[in-house]
Structure 1
Amino acid sequence: MRTFDAEERWSREASPTPIEAPCARRLCGSSMLASVLAAVHLLAGCAGSAPGSSAALGPAPTTPAEPHPVEDRRTFAERAPARTRLLAQIDPKALPAGNIGAVVGWDAERCGVDVEKSISRVQIAVAEPAEIRADILGSLTIEDVGCLLEAEPDGGRLRAGPLEIVALPRGGVRVATPRALADGPGANVALARRLDQALSRSGAAAVADLGPADAAIELVATVTDHLEARLSSPGRSDASLAGARLAEALATARQDGAAGLEPLEIVAAPPDGLVMRVKIATDAALAVATPLAVRRHVIESFKVPSGSMSPTVMPGDHLFVLKDRPGERAGRGDVIVFRSPADPRQRFIKRIIATGGDRVQIDAGGLRINGRQVPSELVGAEHVIPGDGGHPYELWQETLGERRYPVLRPPGGPAPSAPGPAPSAPGPAPSASGPAPSASGPAPSASIDAKVPRGSVYVLGDNRDNSYDSRHFGPVPVEAIEGIAAVIYFSIDTNGLSRWDRIGLPVR
């Protein structure tokens, strides 16, 4: 019998800007999407700046960098690895103050390298499932790049973690995973064309096809005097709905007097997209204030460390969470992030099952709200979650009002909402500070019959036998709700491979 996941607590994304050396050594391979969605990632907390850092990239360039010849851009795309999903090209002159060293977090002074003068451009390709290639063109040598990435000799080559460093025959240095070292068949024509168009407007741009192939989300990001990210999903309304929701949250925060949001603009782009613009801050105080204001009032990024909400959200998922008055907006069926009633330093993610005034009854017959049975339907007898050790589950679908969502139980177990075994005391989270708490609240009895107080919600995990939730610590006050989970923007499995099919999935 599976038990409570002791690593269940949630944590904010906390990669700093500039990117720390360990991430630089990997060329941020595991955070590739975060790097591409730099504006959203920065503002939502995945790369929040600390006071005193070079959060402001410096004054905007007085003149845009000259676009590179079309032939050069097309040659790069034509030599990209197979199954390329992302293409990017960066001209240091296109970045405000040309500070590419600060952006990637390289300790150039330690290596005696003038990064800005030594790099003419960087071309990046990312392919499925987890291949990455970066061609660093200019006068940098292999030894220079090896020093910047803290590489080690390995069989006549330099290696930095999973990446190898080799010289390019046409000049420059290539840093890539082994399968991406050799020139490939190239990116698809549509992706290459979008990069060509983006680079005709800016010397720093990225394009990507994210998510599953049959519902890809198209991204175009460019840098001039502002960073602009355009997301669209042809044939789907998710992106424009997200844009409208974010724009509403931003407008509400400004009406409430939130300071620091002036450089940010979010607009829906019907029928299937959104546009986010962030003006490059020349004032260091504003550059720090804007990310903090966005994370507090609009949107924040979190990563999932446990399987208590599988299969809705899984370990390795990175989510955006809406922060616009979540205590007022959250209702039955919403997936929320909240502070633990037992220890406010801890954050959990669960689904709201009932709200203030509701009566919750859970027994061997299932889940009842106000005396009415919550319908559950068995949809899969042997469901296996990738990376979960091959444990089979029964996959049920529970219907709460207009919400339908998956619920996991062990094979042959009771109904999906029946209480499971008492969990062990929760252990320390991977990055938790302070002492680990003991188990709070009584263990669930054979049945539960509880009245939810006004101003509170009752929460359960979708992985019902592997969740520490209101069956153990009781209802959650609405003021403890920090946000409503909205969308999975990035996901990696236990092997560090990108789960492209989960990118862009709304959390429902």
Structure 2
Amino acid sequence: MRANSSLLWTLVLAGVIALTVRTLVFQPFTIPSDSMRPALEPGDYVAVAKWPYGWSRLSLPLAPPLPRGRVFERLPERGDIVVFTPPHAPRTAYIKRVIGLPGDMVTVSGAVVHINGAPVPRGLVGEETRLSSDGEMTRYQVWQEILEGGRGYLVHDAGPGPLTEFGPVLVPDGHVFVLGDNRSESRDSRAAAPEGPGMAPVDHIIGRADRVLLSVRPDFSLWKPWTWTRIRTGRTFLSLDPEPR
């Protein structure tokens, strides 16, 4: 009887520790789409840090109906990749890059992002031909954008589209303006609800995507051992922190 009791308490303690880590420290997420290429690929398993911006009710399992706001609140930095839920779809998680902070005026003109009237510096790196979200081979230009403070990252651009021109818009208090790195195939702050998430409320941010824990190809299956070689080993523990330039 004592052995069974000890096992039960061990399982309870393990569950409490796992829940605490998931609530306060890290939560894993999987990437289902290519809207954040090239930083994130479909099949990436990402560690999302809970502490950088403080904790809100969305930090807790099932997002209980607690008061709005965050404990130890801190705004994201431009360039951070964040996971958040839009108010109109509380069971849906988006992962995007923070571009504009409260009070910023953001415009997208000819695919060039402008913050407070100044274009975000960018340079052409090259081209890639990849399978797009609609299943067609698409040629993308690859650009490097460099935000204030020298944080640089790559973006994909497949040419003019419905979201190539946007704004200007003022980022309201308590919100951030987010974009997907795959600018031609991302529903982000350029798309208002219900077509997209619109602006991301700060108290709806779950956390900051810090690192790729594991990356697998779409044809990988844990239940098919012959597919276990289809792990993208080069992306294992890949940092998502924008590189200083």
Aligned position for 2:116: 370
Amino acid at match of 2:217: D
Aligned position for 1:501: 234
The question of whether the paired residues in 1 share the 8 Å contact of 2:78 and 2:147 is answered with yes
| Deviation (angstroms), 1:393 | 1.2
2:109 and 2:132 map into 1 onto residues whose CA distance is 30
Aligned position for 1:394: 141
Summarize deviations over 1:266-325 as a string: whole Å, max 9, x none.
Answer: xxxxxxxxxxxxxxx944432222211111111111110000001101100001010005
Amino acid at match of 1:494: P
| Deviation (angstroms), 1:58 | 8.2
Aligned position for 1:459: 178
| Deviation (angstroms), 1:446 | 4.1
1:13-24 correspondence runs (5 A)? none
Runs of at least 5 residues in structure 1 that lack an aligned partner in the other structure: 1-56, 60-96, 98-280, 415-419, 422-443
1:348 lines up with 2:94 in the alignment: yes
Of 383, 403, 406, the match for 2:151: 403
1:447 and 1:482 map into 2 onto residues whose CA distance is 26
Check 1:58–1:329 CA distance in 2 against 1; reply closer, same or farther (3 A cut): farther
Aligned position for 1:312: 39
SS in 2 for 1:391: strand
Amino acid at match of 2:93: R
1:317 and 1:477 map into 2 onto residues whose CA distance is 25
Check 1:405–1:304 CA distance in 2 against 1; reply closer, same or farther (3 A cut): same
The question of whether the paired residues in 2 share the 8 Å contact of 1:311 and 1:385 is answered with no
1:322 and 1:499 map into 2 onto residues whose CA distance is 22
2:128 and 2:12 map into 1 onto residues whose CA distance is 54
Amino acid at match of 2:114: R
| Deviation (angstroms), 1:400 | 0.9
1:366 and 1:58 map into 2 onto residues whose CA distance is 63
1:448 lines up with 2:167 in the alignment: yes
1:475 and 1:320 map into 2 onto residues whose CA distance is 23
2:136 and 2:10 map into 1 onto residues whose CA distance is 50
The question of whether the paired residues in 1 share the 8 Å contact of 2:132 and 2:138 is answered with no
Summarize deviations over 1:62-110 as a string: whole Å, max 9, x none.
Answer: xxxxxxxxxxxxxxxxxxxxxxxxxxxxxxxxxxx7xxxxxxxxxxxxx
Aligned position for 2:27: 300
More strand by share: 2
Summarize deviations over 1:398-422 as a string: whole Å, max 9, x none.
Answer: 1112211111011xx25xxxxx32x
1:446 and 1:389 map into 2 onto residues whose CA distance is 23
SS in 2 for 1:465: helix
Aligned position for 2:79: 333
TM-score, normalization by structure 2: 0.76
Amino acid at match of 1:376: R
Aligned position for 2:59: none
Of 104, 120, 125, the match for 1:358: 104
The question of whether the paired residues in 1 share the 8 Å contact of 2:106 and 2:116 is answered with yes
2:47 and 2:164 map into 1 onto residues whose CA distance is 35
SS in 1 for 2:190: helix
Amino acid at match of 1:455: G
Aligned position for 1:288: 15
| Deviation (angstroms), 1:375 | 1.1
| Deviation (angstroms), 1:475 | 1.5
SS in 2 for 1:368: strand
2:166 and 2:232 map into 1 onto residues whose CA distance is 38
Amino acid at match of 1:479: D
Check 1:296–1:370 CA distance in 2 against 1; reply closer, same or farther (3 A cut): same
Runs of at least 5 residues in structure 2 that lack an aligned partner in the other structure: 54-72, 193-197, 221-229
The question of whether the paired residues in 1 share the 8 Å contact of 2:166 and 2:190 is answered with no
Check 1:313–1:289 CA distance in 2 against 1; reply closer, same or farther (3 A cut): same
Check 1:501–1:325 CA distance in 2 against 1; reply closer, same or farther (3 A cut): closer
The question of whether the paired residues in 2 share the 8 Å contact of 1:383 and 1:395 is answered with no
Check 1:328–1:58 CA distance in 2 against 1; reply closer, same or farther (3 A cut): farther
1:486 lines up with 2:210 in the alignment: yes
1:96-245 correspondence runs (5 A)? none
Q: How many residues align?
A: 203
| Deviation (angstroms), 1:465 | 1.1
Of 377, 380, 388, the match for 2:126: 380
Of 171, 187, 191, the match for 1:468: 187
The question of whether the paired residues in 1 share the 8 Å contact of 2:86 and 2:201 is answered with no
Summarize deviations over 1:36-84 as a string: whole Å, max 9, x none.
Answer: xxxxxxxxxxxxxxxxxxxxx985xxxxxxxxxxxxxxxxxxxxxxxxx
Amino acid at match of 1:481: I
CA RMSD of superposed structures (Å) = 2.5
The question of whether the paired residues in 1 share the 8 Å contact of 2:108 and 2:114 is answered with yes
1:285 and 1:456 map into 2 onto residues whose CA distance is 38
Identity of matched residues, %: 38
Aligned position for 2:68: none
1:300 and 1:464 map into 2 onto residues whose CA distance is 26
